């Protein structure tokens, strides 16, 4: 019996979602929520998972060397909320398989490339941003180029984010396709989203400076058609609760809104009074 364990981290996109699909920069952050996978090469065969669908089965076919291996998934990354649950899972499986086979860690690039095989099953045409964060941890700036993905580590912030859960999932594949269908009219907004992401880099350690960039990004994301009235209401709630700024994070159409503010616990308490599920999450630095 050989057991291999692997982990991948959930993420939040601070700026540049959707724009990143077209080569603009995006800034994202690993958070203190993750997915852990245990594979057992000698069974008993089966997949033990809190969620199961056709896409998971297909992703497993691509990543598991044998259908006879047993696999157990545990995760505290909310599914379908733009927090990178599928990327965290894909990376965790790649690492677990590697360890079960007794191979040395193949390094971030090879782990990224292998995990992308599964991420394409989940998301169709992913930029790779989620997988890059799940592999690396910490904060990164990510750019998709013709020569392949380019990502660079940034100093990991030390402030917490407040996450507001809309309670329903957005469909990343459909939302990305919807933006594609609205080009070229939305191209100037996509460029602006990339510029705002770039502008976040020098103020990453300053939530008060970052906040207004969040709110400006939300307005841009609304204009390209990926927000919803519920997400707009969550941004308004965060701002009323004292946030420096707030935005939807991820593909939109549901999922979560993120905010930074001087008193995160007070923002969570105010959300609870309004019947909204919100929680505080911290960046997870690269190991």
Query: Which residues participate in catalysis according to the annotation?
Result: 130
Contact positions with ligand PMV (CB under 6 A) in 40-99? 82, 84
Q: Rounded to whole angstroms, what are the CA distances from 110 to 9, 28, 40, 100, 107?
A: 17, 20, 22, 17, 6
- Determine the Cα angle at 263 with ends 260 and 264, to 5°: 55
DSSP H or E run through 122: helix 108-123
Q: Give the full edge-to-edge strand order of the sheet including 245-249.
A: 245-249, 256-260, 161-165, 277-281
From the list 18, 36, 95, 99, which residue makes contact with ligand PMV (rule: CB under 6 A)? Answer: 18
197 binds ligand PMV (CB under 6 A): no
Residue nearest to ligand PMV (CB): 250
213 binds ligand PMV (CB under 6 A): no
130 binds ligand PMV (CB under 6 A): yes
CA-based torsion, 202, 205, 208, 214: positive or negative:
positive
Contact positions with ligand PMV (CB under 6 A) in 173-192? 176
Q: Which residues of 112-124 are buried (b: 16+ CB within 10 A; e: fewer)?
A: bebbbebbbbbbe
What's the CA gap between 190 and 18, in Å, rounded? Answer: 7
Contact positions with ligand PMV (CB under 6 A) in 155-174? 172
Strand 70-75 vs strand 46-48: parallel, antiparallel, or unpaired? parallel
In the complex with ligand PMV, which residue's Cβ is closer, 35 or 241? 35
Number of helices (H), then strands (E), belonging to the chain: the values are 9, 10
DSSP 193-219: HHHHHHHHGGGTT-HHHHHHHHHHHHH
Stretch that binds ligand PMV, among 17-25, 154-162, 258-266, 270-278 (CB under 6 A): 17-25
What's the CA gap between 19 and 251, in Å, rounded? Answer: 11
Number of residues that bind ligand PMV (CB under 6 A): 14
140 binds ligand PMV (CB under 6 A): no
In the complex with ligand PMV, which residue's Cβ is closer, 21 or 186? 21
Stretch that binds ligand PMV, among 15-23, 51-59, 237-245, 273-281 (CB under 6 A): 15-23
Stretch that binds ligand PMV, among 31-39, 125-133, 147-155, 202-210 (CB under 6 A): 125-133
20 binds ligand PMV (CB under 6 A): yes
Stretch that binds ligand PMV, among 43-51, 63-71, 122-130, 131-139 (CB under 6 A): 122-130
Q: Which residues bind ligand PMV (CB under 6 A)?
A: 17-18, 20-21, 82, 84, 126-127, 129-130, 172, 176, 250-251
């Amino acid at each position: 019996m050989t057991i291999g364990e692997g982990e991948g981290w959930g993420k939040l996109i601070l700026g540049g979602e959707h724009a990143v699909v077209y080569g603009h920069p995006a800034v994202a952050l690993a958070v203190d929520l993750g997915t852990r996978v245990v594979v057992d090469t000698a069974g008993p065969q089966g997949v033990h998972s809190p969620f199961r669908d056709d896409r998971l089965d297909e992703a497993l076919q691509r990543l598991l060397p044998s259908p006879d291996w047993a696999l157990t998934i545990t995760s505290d990354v909310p599914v379908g909320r733009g927090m990178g649950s599928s990327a965290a899972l894909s990376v965790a499986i790649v690492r677990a398989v590697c360890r079960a086979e007794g191979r040395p860690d193949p390094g971030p690039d090879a782990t990224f490339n292998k995990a992308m095989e599964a991420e394409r099953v989940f998301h169709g045409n992913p930029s790779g941003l989620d997988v890059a964060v799940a592999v690396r941890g910490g904060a990164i700036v990510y750019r998709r180029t013709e020569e392949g993905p380019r990502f660079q580590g940034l100093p990991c912030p030390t402030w917490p984010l407040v996450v507001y859960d809309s309670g329903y999932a957005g469909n990343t594949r459909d939302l990305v396709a919807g933006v594609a269908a609205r080009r070229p009219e939305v191209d100037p907004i996509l460029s602006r989203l990339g510029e705002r992401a770039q502008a976040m880099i020098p103020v990453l350690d300053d939530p008060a400076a970052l906040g207004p960039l969040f709110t400006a990004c939300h307005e841009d994301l609304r204009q390209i058609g990926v927000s919803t009235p519920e997400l707009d209401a969550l941004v308004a709630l965060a701002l009323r609760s004292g946030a420096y700024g707030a935005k939807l994070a991820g593909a939109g159409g549901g999922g979560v809104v993120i905010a930074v503010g001087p008193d995160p616990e007070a923002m969570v308490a105010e959300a609870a009074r309004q019947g909204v599920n919100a929680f505080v999450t911290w960046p997870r630095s690269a190991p």
